[in-house]
Amino acid sequence: MDAFTPPPNFAPRSPLVRDCTACGACCSAPDIHALRKPLGVPCVHLRPDCLCAVYAARPAVCRGYQPDWVCGEVAPLPTLEARMRRFLEVYGLDDEARL
Ligand code: SF4
Ligand code: SF4
Protein backbone atom coordinates (compact mmCIF):
# COMPACT_ATOMS: atom_id res chain seq x y z
CA MET A 1 0.00 0.00 0.00
CA ASP A 2 1.51 3.33 -1.02
CA ALA A 3 0.83 6.85 0.23
CA PHE A 4 -1.87 7.26 -2.42
CA THR A 5 -3.98 4.33 -1.27
CA PRO A 6 -6.87 5.83 0.69
CA PRO A 7 -8.35 4.07 3.73
CA PRO A 8 -11.44 2.01 2.83
CA ASN A 9 -13.87 4.64 4.14
CA PHE A 10 -12.44 7.28 1.80
CA ALA A 11 -11.86 5.25 -1.34
CA PRO A 12 -15.15 5.93 -3.15
CA ARG A 13 -14.70 9.69 -3.15
CA SER A 14 -10.96 9.95 -3.65
CA PRO A 15 -9.98 10.75 -7.22
CA LEU A 16 -6.48 9.65 -8.14
CA VAL A 17 -4.27 12.69 -7.59
CA ARG A 18 -0.58 11.82 -7.61
CA ASP A 19 0.99 15.20 -8.20
CA CYS A 20 0.67 18.33 -6.14
CA THR A 21 -1.74 20.68 -7.86
CA ALA A 22 -0.80 23.59 -5.58
CA CYS A 23 -4.29 23.60 -4.09
CA GLY A 24 -3.04 25.28 -0.92
CA ALA A 25 -4.83 22.99 1.55
CA CYS A 26 -1.71 21.69 3.28
CA CYS A 27 -0.43 25.28 3.63
CA SER A 28 -3.72 26.32 5.21
CA ALA A 29 -5.34 23.57 7.25
CA PRO A 30 -2.71 22.05 9.56
CA ASP A 31 -0.91 23.83 12.34
CA ILE A 32 2.74 24.31 11.42
CA HIS A 33 4.85 24.82 14.50
CA ALA A 34 7.94 26.01 12.59
CA LEU A 35 5.88 28.85 11.13
CA ARG A 36 3.81 29.47 14.27
CA LYS A 37 0.85 28.88 12.06
CA PRO A 38 -2.34 27.88 13.86
CA LEU A 39 -4.78 25.25 12.70
CA GLY A 40 -7.24 26.36 10.04
CA VAL A 41 -5.50 29.60 9.14
CA PRO A 42 -3.70 29.96 5.80
CA CYS A 43 0.06 30.46 6.08
CA VAL A 44 1.05 34.11 5.84
CA HIS A 45 3.34 33.15 2.96
CA LEU A 46 0.59 31.57 0.88
CA ARG A 47 -0.09 33.75 -2.14
CA PRO A 48 -3.61 34.31 -3.50
CA ASP A 49 -2.77 31.88 -6.33
CA CYS A 50 -1.94 29.27 -3.66
CA LEU A 51 1.77 29.27 -4.44
CA CYS A 52 4.38 29.87 -1.76
CA ALA A 53 5.84 33.38 -1.60
CA VAL A 54 9.00 32.12 0.12
CA TYR A 55 9.36 28.86 -1.78
CA ALA A 56 13.18 28.96 -2.00
CA ALA A 57 13.45 29.70 1.72
CA ARG A 58 10.51 27.61 3.00
CA PRO A 59 11.20 25.64 6.18
CA ALA A 60 12.19 21.99 6.25
CA VAL A 61 8.71 20.89 7.27
CA CYS A 62 7.36 22.30 4.00
CA ARG A 63 10.23 20.89 1.95
CA GLY A 64 9.59 17.46 3.34
CA TYR A 65 5.83 17.44 2.73
CA GLN A 66 4.81 14.92 0.09
CA PRO A 67 1.47 14.55 -1.68
CA ASP A 68 -0.59 11.54 -0.57
CA TRP A 69 -4.15 10.21 -0.84
CA VAL A 70 -5.53 13.23 1.04
CA CYS A 71 -4.71 15.37 -1.99
CA GLY A 72 -7.40 13.42 -3.84
CA GLU A 73 -9.88 14.43 -1.17
CA VAL A 74 -9.03 18.12 -1.16
CA ALA A 75 -7.41 19.23 -4.41
CA PRO A 76 -10.50 18.83 -6.67
CA LEU A 77 -12.63 21.11 -4.48
CA PRO A 78 -13.31 24.54 -5.96
CA THR A 79 -12.20 26.97 -3.25
CA LEU A 80 -9.34 27.16 -0.78
CA GLU A 81 -11.85 27.34 2.05
CA ALA A 82 -13.55 24.14 0.89
CA ARG A 83 -10.20 22.42 0.48
CA MET A 84 -9.10 23.53 3.94
CA ARG A 85 -12.35 22.35 5.54
CA ARG A 86 -12.11 18.97 3.87
CA PHE A 87 -8.48 18.57 4.94
CA LEU A 88 -9.46 19.28 8.55
CA GLU A 89 -12.45 16.93 8.27
CA VAL A 90 -10.27 14.10 6.98
CA TYR A 91 -8.01 14.44 10.00
CA GLY A 92 -10.91 14.94 12.42
CA LEU A 93 -9.72 18.45 13.25
CA ASP A 94 -12.71 20.44 12.04
CA ASP A 95 -14.12 20.93 15.54
CA GLU A 96 -10.77 21.92 16.94
CA ALA A 97 -10.28 24.51 14.20
CA ARG A 98 -13.73 26.00 14.98
CA LEU A 99 -14.34 26.90 11.35
S1 SF4 B 1 -2.84 19.25 -0.28
FE2 SF4 B 1 -1.74 18.03 -1.80
S3 SF4 B 1 -2.29 18.90 -3.80
FE4 SF4 B 1 -2.82 20.41 -2.22
S5 SF4 B 1 -1.02 21.75 -2.07
FE6 SF4 B 1 -0.78 20.15 -0.52
S7 SF4 B 1 0.43 18.52 -1.48
FE8 SF4 B 1 -0.37 19.86 -3.12
S1 SF4 C 1 6.00 28.54 3.96
FE2 SF4 C 1 5.23 28.22 1.88
S3 SF4 C 1 5.14 25.96 1.63
FE4 SF4 C 1 5.27 26.41 3.82
S5 SF4 C 1 3.13 26.46 4.56
FE6 SF4 C 1 3.75 28.58 4.05
S7 SF4 C 1 3.06 28.86 1.94
FE8 SF4 C 1 3.11 26.66 2.33
Report pLDDT digits (tens) over 12-65. Answer: 667 777 789 999 999 999 999 999 999 999 999 999 999 999 999 999 999 999
d(CA 96, CA 3): 25
Is the beta carbon of 20 within 6 A of some atom in ligand 1?
yes
Structural domain contains residue 53: yes
Which residues span the domain enclosing 75? 19-97
pLDDT at residue 3, rounded to an integer: 87
Structural domain contains residue 7: no
Looking at 1-99, list the stretches that DSSP marks H as alpha helix, in order from N- to C-terminal side. 60-63, 69-74, 80-90, 94-97
Structural domain contains residue 91: yes
pLDDT at residue 12, rounded to an integer: 63
Please tell me the total count of domains within the chain.
Answer: 1
Structural domain contains residue 25: yes
Cα of 25 from ligand 1 centre, angstroms: 6
Structural domain contains residue 88: yes
